[in-house]
Amino acid sequence: MADTPDNQGTSTRPYLLRALHDWCTDNGFTPYLAVFVGPGVQVPMEYVKNNEIVLNVGFEATSSLQLGNEFIEFKARFGGVSREIRVPVDHVVAIYARENGQGMAFPVPTDAAARTGESAAEPAAPRGLRLASSDSDEDTAPAASGDGPAPEAPPEPPGPAPGGRPALKRVK
């Protein structure tokens, strides 16, 4: 087994995305992806707001879903029209269950953070999700917006309890 030049191995993001997609499906939840839209992202641009879109990647809303190591690809209907979707894995900033908001947030792509002036450690993820390795209380961002292939607009995950700070729930 060959090491990568920096001995870091391959990205864990595609493996975590597949695992959380499976967890959502196994528990009867609807998996949603929050995606930073930039070069290489093929989505219906009319649903993109602030360079973000939320996509329903449940089996009921997609066909030919492939959660690969480099790309997530599927076909879905937007406004009754079938579209081919192709998202580089590194542009996924969060995956979460629509019903309860449980999931995981990821940093925005490094090149995207440089263009927008964001910190790569502060993902533009749905409210209530935090980057697991962050120590800051200021690391949540407004909810990703846009319509996915779901019949209704994706709801925001539940926010923090009054007086509490937002936190990512552990998925077991």
The answer, yes or no, to whether residue 153 has pLDDT greater than 50, is no
Q: What is the model's pLDDT at position 170?
A: 59
Q: What is the model's pLDDT at position 115?
A: 53
Give the integer Cα–Cα distance in Å for 19 and 87.
Answer: 17
Percent of the chain with pLDDT over 90: 56
Q: What is the model's pLDDT at position 140?
A: 35
What the chain holds in terms of domains, given with CATH numbers, is 13-116 (2.30.30.220)
Cβ neighbours of 139 (radius 10 Å) = 18
Asked whether 123 and 93 are in contact (CB, 8 A), the reply is yes
The residue among 120 and 116 whose pLDDT is bigger is 116
Confidence label for 47 from pLDDT (cuts 50, 70 and 90):
very high
